[in-house]
Amino acid sequence: MLAFLARRVFIAIPTVILISLFVFSLQHLLPGDPILVMAGEERDPEVIAALREKYRLNDPIPVQYLAWAGNALQGDLGISLRTQQPVLELIAEKLPVTIQLAVMALAIAILIGIPAGVLSAYKKGTWIDWVANITALSGLSVPNFWLGIMLILLVSVKLGWLPASGYMPLSEDPLQSIRTMLMPAFVLGTAIAATLMRHTRSAMLSVLKSDYVRTARAKGLRESVVLIKHALRNALVPVVTVITLLFGELLAGAVLTEQIFTIPGFGKLVVDAVFNRDYAVVQAIVLCTGIAFILMNILADAAYRVLNPRMSEQ
Amino acid sequence: MTASKPLLDVRGLSIRVAGAARPLVDDVSFSLDAGETLCIVGESGCGKSLTALALMGLLEGTPLRIDGGTAEFQETDLLSAPQATLRALRGDRIAMIFQEPMTSLNPALKIGDQIAEAVCEHRDVSREAGRARALEMLKRVRIPAAESRLDEYPYQLSGGMRQRVMIAMALANDPALLIADEPTTALDVTIQAQILDLMRNLGRETGAAQIMITHDLGVVAEMADKVAVMYAGRIVEAGTVTQIFDDPQHPYTLGLMSSMPSLAGRSERLVTIPGTVPSPLDMPVGCRFAPRCPFADAACEAPPQLVDLEAGHRVACWHAPIEQAEPTPAWRETA
């Protein structure tokens, strides 16, 4: 397994380089000039020239790339043009928030989506299947911002059970931190749960028809064992792919949900950076998201090998 | 015929697709004593596998419904018992082996665990004891290096080895009845002989009665004490293996016999039965074999009942005993 992971990480290096090239060229393809934003209303040519010199924007582009990539490798992702903070610091500040939100949303999605998918496949064509499918369809159709606002109205304003907004770091007050994250995680989780439910259902339907499930029944195993140990384990292989991809998306930040619940996560950072043409930050975020996706893919492959022993041989 | 109660007594079993006009398995009856081997023979689609699945209670979740009949096995009616009762019997008192060893084992679980699981489900034993039993069973089905195989996955085994694992799994709880649905059809010929050999020996050792479903008369000759010949959902002839092979009475059985290659009559061309099996949607009202039968006449428009020709030898044909019947002239011309 370790050798496999090492090989996968090695193979990922060219992909990371490609992403970095893309990320770097992005700023030259985008319209707008950050220096003009920084220089303020007066647009003093001398100030502009000095700023260009300071940020090495006069160098040839390949030189700019090498300088940027070399610094990035050393953990120096530049300085935010807007806040003058090191980008790494900004990201280190937001990343735990987004990871916590993503993990909680995914946990909620898995807890709802997979059992619902198993149940609706097992009870295919019955009212249970119908209810699960209609709920899933609504979960996919309801916009996150609407669900978020409605939840705030109901759970926070009317019932007063959970705080409507704000953020508490996990390290300071774990319980309060989970409480503040619960609603946004639920909003994000339900939409994902619907996707997971659909995938689990269709994978289970085909597995339940297989010969080895019939063998398991012929052994006299309880239905719960047949369903979970024999069927679900095999049905999970395609679902795991979906889970990792969805997790990658969650890590990229959920702009609307973060906005509604005023969570200082990645999504807000991205939006602010884009509007202010804060290139260093945009680049760093896209790079981080790309690497997160690569890591998720490696994780998915590792999970396959656990679920499907045949793959671990190759 | 023994005076004591048979191990399994099936009477009037009918199976149909929910809502269909005609049953796929129609009024099937047979019985089996402890330690006996019954072969159910017939072409694909004649209902022999459905009969087996119905006895196992494995039609649940399919569009097929048991339409009538009883199947008494050790004081339980397998056709009407609740699933919980059947589940307790399955894999314990009655076990089943399937046709496709390549897909019948769970690809994600070690074979030792798959066997031990059957033991632990029905016996109050520890995991270690279940594993020990799995090892013992792997040795009994003569899997080489059994110890190291316990932790292997199905994909690491050949088809023949997988079928041995299936047999080990089925016999792990010393069942009184083993149902084998075409256990050798998917295997190479040389492996087929080995598996049949193994099943016969294990049957003898454990005293388990066997129902073997096959379309292969060679398998029947090898394994059977009793034979039931099925055609289009009905039993057309039943008897001891000697009765069926030495004195076949139903025209369909005769056809099956003559379509089997023999070393003695090498010069002759293989005979085939003309026509095809009728579709379940379009079953003849009377004798279902009549459209393909050289002896068919007006009498065959009424369904024939299984009648005793001699002790234990039953035939469903208006023209039995066949020695006295004449092929119809029209059939001679077309054939």
pLDDT in tens, B137-168: 999 898 999 999 999 999 999 988 999 999 99
Residues of A in Cβ contact (< 8 Å) with B155 = 309-310, 313
Residue A49's H or E segment, with its range, is: helix A45-54
B251 token code pair: 């025209």
Rounded Cα distance, A289 and B330, in Å: 81
Contact A215 B107 (CB under 8 A): no
Residue B284 lies in a domain: yes
CATH of the domain at A125: 1.10.3720.10
pLDDT at residue B242 greater than cutoff 80 = yes
Residue A98 lies in a domain: yes
Last residue of a domain, one of B152, B172, B192: B172
Residues of B in Cβ contact (< 8 Å) with A238 = none
Give the ipTM: 0.87
Contact A215 B109 (CB under 8 A): no
Residue B194 lies in a domain: no
Contact A220 B106 (CB under 8 A): no
Last residue of a domain, one of B127, B145, B172: B172
Contact B90 A214 (CB under 8 A): no
How far off is chain A from B217, nearest CA to CA, in Å? 26
Shortest CA distance from A207: residue in chain B: B106
Residue B236 contacts residue B277 (beta carbons within 8 Å)? no
pLDDT at res. B269: 64
How far off is chain A from B164, nearest CA to CA, in Å? 14
* B324: DSSP letter: G
pLDDT at res. A200: 95
Beta-carbon count within 10 A of B83 CB: 12
Choose the closest CB to B103 out of A210, A220, A222: A210
Residue A121 lies in a domain: yes
What's the gap between Cα B272 and its chain centre? 23
> For A32, left (φ over 0), alpha (ψ -120 to 50), or beta?
left
pLDDT at residue A245 greater than cutoff 60 = yes
Residue A147's H or E segment, with its range, is: helix A144-151
Instruction: Tell me the pLDDT band of B278, cut-offs 50, 70 and 90.
Output: confident
Contact A234 B89 (CB under 8 A): no
| pLDDT tens-digit readout, A233-244 | 999 988 988 898
Choose the closest CB to B107 out of A217, A310, A313: A310
Residue A1 lies in a domain: no
pLDDT at residue B2 greater than cutoff 50 = no
B279 or A198, which is more confident: A198
Residue B195 lies in a domain: no
Residue B109 lies in a domain: yes
pLDDT at residue A15 greater than cutoff 80 = yes
Residue B16 contacts residue B23 (beta carbons within 8 Å)? yes
Choose the closest CB to B91 out of A214, A218, A229: A218
Residue B271 lies in a domain: yes
The residues on B that touch A, with CB distances below 8 Å, are 56, 58, 61, 87-92, 95-96, 98, 100, 103-110, 117-118, 121-122, 153, 155-156, 166, 169
pLDDT at res. A264: 85
Rounded Cα distance, A198 and A150, in Å: 25
Best to test chain B binding among A129, A215, A236, A306 (most B CBs inside 10 Å): A215
pLDDT at residue A290 greater than cutoff 70 = yes
The whole-number average pLDDT for the span B259-268 is 62
Cis status, amide bond into B280, omega within 30 of 0: no
Residue B130 lies in a domain: yes
The residues on A that touch B, with CB distances below 8 Å, are 208, 210-212, 214-222, 225, 229-230, 233-234, 307-310, 313
Contact A215 B155 (CB under 8 A): no
Cβ contacts of residue A12 below 8 Å, gap of 6+? A294, A298
pLDDT at res. B265: 54
Highest mean pLDDT: which of A30-39, A81-90, A100-109?
A100-109
Count: domains in chain A? 1
Contact B106 A234 (CB under 8 A): yes
pLDDT at res. B329: 58
Residues of B in Cβ contact (< 8 Å) with A230 = 106, 109
Count: domains in chain B? 2
B39 or A8, which is more confident: B39
Best to test chain A binding among B64, B104, B173 (most A CBs inside 10 Å): B104
Rounded Cα distance, A253 and A267, in Å: 4
Rounded Cα distance, A118 and A202, in Å: 9
Shortest CA distance from A231: residue in chain B: B106
Give the whole-number percent of chain B exceeding pLDDT 90: 48
Contact A221 B122 (CB under 8 A): no
The whole-number average pLDDT for the span B260-287 is 74
Residue A14 lies in a domain: no
Choose the closest CB to B122 out of A216, A220, A234: A220
Contact A219 B91 (CB under 8 A): yes
| pLDDT tens-digit readout, A175-195 | 888 888 889 899 999 889 999
Residue A196 lies in a domain: yes
Residue A123 lies in a domain: yes
Instruction: Tell me the pLDDT band of A53, cut-offs 50, 70 and 90.
Output: confident
Last residue of a domain, one of B172, B202, B226: B172
B95 or A292, which is more confident: B95
Shortest CA distance from A122: residue in chain B: B61
Contact A221 B121 (CB under 8 A): yes
Best to test chain A binding among B109, B127, B133, B178 (most A CBs inside 10 Å): B109
Structural domain containing residue B139? 104-172
pLDDT at res. A113: 93
pLDDT at res. A167: 81
Structural domain containing residue A252? 87-313
pLDDT at res. B335: 45
Rounded Cα distance, B291 and B268, in Å: 25
pLDDT at res. B330: 54
Residue B115 lies in a domain: yes
Q: Enumerate the β-bridge partners of residue B40.
A: B213, B228
Contact A220 B169 (CB under 8 A): no
pLDDT at residue A50 greater than cutoff 60 = yes
Best to test chain A binding among B60, B87, B113, B179 (most A CBs inside 10 Å): B87
pTM higher than 0.95, yes or no?
no
**Where are the strands (E) in B74-131, listed by range?**
76-77, 94-97
pLDDT at res. B263: 61
Shortest CA distance from B172: residue in chain A: A219
Mean pLDDT score of chain A: 86
Choose the closest CB to A310 out of B110, B153, B166: B153
How far off is chain B from A221, nearest CA to CA, in Å? 6
Residue A9 lies in a domain: no
How far off is chain A from B158, nearest CA to CA, in Å? 14
Highest mean pLDDT: which of A58-62, B115-119, B214-218, B255-259?
B115-119
Instruction: Tell me the pLDDT band of B1, cut-offs 50, 70 and 90.
Output: very low
Mean pLDDT score of chain B: 87
Question: On the CB side of A14, how many CA atoms lie within 13 Å of its CA?
Answer: 3
Beta-carbon count within 10 A of A203 CB: 22
Cβ contacts of residue A210 below 8 Å, gap of 6+? A234, B103
Residues of B in Cβ contact (< 8 Å) with A211 = 98, 100, 103-104
- Residue A271 class from Cβ within 10 Å (0-12 exposed, 13-18 middle, 19+ buried)? middle
| pLDDT tens-digit readout, A156-173 | 888 888 887 778 888 888
Task: Name the CA radius of gyration of chain A, rounded.
Answer: 24
Residue B71 lies in a domain: no
